[in-house]
Amino acid sequence: MDFKEKIATLLKKYTNLEKDEILNLIEIPNSEMGDFAFPCFKLAKTLKKAPPMIANEIAEKIEKPDFIEKIEVVNAYINFYINKAIYIESILNQVLDKKEDFGNSSIGNNKTIVIDYSSPNIAKPFHIGHLRSTVIGNSLYKIYKKLGYNVVGVNHLGDWGTQFGKLIVAYKNWGNKELVEKDDIKELSKIYVKFHEEAEKNPALEDEARLWLVKMQERDKEALELWKWFCEISMKEFERVYKMLNISFDSYAGESFYNDKMQAVVDELFEKDILVESQGAKIVDLEEYNMPPCLILRSDGGTLYPTRDISAAFYRKKEYNFEKCLYITALDQNLHFAQWFKVIELMGYDWAKDLVHIPFGLVSLNDGKLSTRKGHVVLMEDILNSAIEKTKNIIEEKNPNLENKEEVAKQVGIGAVIFNDLFNSRVKNVVFDLERMLNFQGETGPYVQYTHTRACSILEKENFTLDMLEDIDFSLICDEYSFELVKLISLYPEKIIDASIKYEPYIITRHLVNICQAFNKFYDENNIKNSDTNLKKARLAIVYATKNIIANALYLLGIDAPEKM
């Protein structure tokens, strides 16, 4: 039973509003004000009466159905109190019946969403600055899958561009093959930093780097061999990190994949008279839209990020016929995306509106912003290993006899890092603090995972079996703690949809913390062990349902749910 929908159907009889309008207006108030509330402000204009008067008149007319315990009017609000036994039975039966499928939806059926995320630059270290795009994208991928969409995860690797010209110059000047083979990405990063230090003293190095990029574009053998070698070295490191995070992609088509697809885009821009020349470069003038020009070709004929991004968008539309194509990158790239989205719109393609930039704030260390050029980075692999090691120490201290300590340390340590990133709205900046995120108290990943293990432990101690879920007397669990927990569980499917609409995994993360807090209160206030048989069965049904929801939500965040900690 969808109680919100039932109340909307009920109210439709007494208002001039459509059911969907009523559904959008219904609120979830503080528990002391009821379970659902309908504000009457919108009716004041058409009925020409004060909202409190309208609320009273409607409330007096409503024939109260059995699923509503009472109706009260507070100012302009009609507050509905649900019959607890009917509500708890309805929600728990859904969760117990659907198990891990609770929250699944068909709203995405026959629709494809492409998500462009992670996308590190080849020949640069995978550092904590790459974490945000990677985990936000992975979570959105799982959320859209849950809602029935066909999802295509694209790792648009930065495997082309001026940085390769710079790296080739750096390697030829200061590189050593044996050192690169020994220290791989760390040595490449070291000489890349060296290039920028030297280029400040000798700007001619920048010109030399651009010439090497042109050589790459002209298929020069030496340039391409070095480029391919740098790519292979980088991918080994990337794959190690992705394996630790348990993240995979459907496509690794990076920037180089579009090299033979850009000319068609440039030709079309010329044909449609959109390209203009400016100081030898080819641009799209966007002054009319209060934006700087979008550079398509440099004066030396080299392509730029917009050229490749536009070509990639055309390819993806043709290949996947997406409903939406999402780009998860830092907030400071807002202008870049706005510019080339506008170029596609000016080319006459209405699907430009389906291209969505999903920005996020920066991740930083306690002592400031990251910079690959300055060498001020912390490798993602080192961070994850450190989180695992610290978790291992905590386990040795608190539960040294735990089975599979190594595996649990990975699940908790890495889970803590991901959870911390997804706990706040993505546009907020994140300061990386490993000590805080590994805390087992408060709003952290370990706290949520521990709550899951606590539920598992309760079920194990009570020898729980699925047979116990039959013939439950739900009227026995109408106390406030059980009811509040079930109410939060009932909102879970709605939170998944909300997260998908707003591109915000944190909506699920925050709701999950609320569920865990409510569960721990429920457990502290309700004695399961010494309950009589029927009451114990009913309470264990809540424990089992909560365990499933926590594991389900953690999965959507890209985090494991250990059964013991």
Alpha-carbon distances of 506 from 15, 135, 166, 543, rounded to whole Å: 36, 11, 38, 24
123, 158 Cβ separation under 8 angstroms: no
Q: Write down the catalytic residue from 4, 84, 127, 146.
A: 127
Q: What number of other Cβ atoms are within 10 A of residue 5's Cβ?
A: 13
Residue 292's CB is within 10 A of a number of other CB atoms, namely 11
The one catalytic residue in 4, 124, 156, 357 is: 124
| Main-chain dihedrals φ then ψ at residue 40, nearest 5 degrees | -105, 10
Who's near 282: CB < 8 A, 6+ residues apart?
266, 269, 275, 276, 295, 296, 297
Three-state secondary structure call for residue 123 = coil
Question: Are the CB atoms for 283 and 296 separated by under 8 Å?
Answer: yes
Burial of 366 (0-12, 13-18, 19+ CB in 10 A): exposed
Beta bridge partners of 325: 114, 355
Closest CA to 378 of 241, 472, 248, 505: 241
Assess whether 196 carries a catalytic annotation: no
Residue 452 appears among annotated catalytic residues: no
470-486 as b/e: b if 16+ CB within 10 A: eebebebbbeebbbbbb
Q: Two tokens at 380?
A: 């993602």
Q: State the Cα–Cα distance between residues 442 and 158, nearest whole angstrom.
A: 38
SS3 category, 81:
strand
Number of separate helices (H) and strands (E) present in the chain: 21, 12
Please identify which of the residues 4, 42, 84, 130 carries the catalytic annotation: 130
Residue 459: count other Cβ atoms within 10 Å of its Cβ.
Answer: 18
Residue 374: strand, helix, or coil: coil
């997260």: which residue's tokens?
Answer: 499
Q: What's the CA gap between 380 and 139, in Å, rounded?
A: 18
N- to C-terminal Cα separation, the chain: 36
Inter-residue long-range contacts of 433-440, CB under 8 Å, 24+ positions, other chains counted: 433/366, 434/383, 434/386, 434/387, 434/390, 437/387, 438/387, 438/390, 438/391, 438/394, 438/412, 438/413, 440/394
* Cα separations in angstroms, 259 against 45, 282, 462: 59, 17, 62
CA distance 283 to 269: 10
For 297, the enclosing helix (H) or strand (E) is strand 294-297
**Any residues with CB less than 8 A from the CB of 253 and at least 6 apart, and which?**
154, 156, 157, 312, 315
Please list the active-site residues: 124, 127, 130
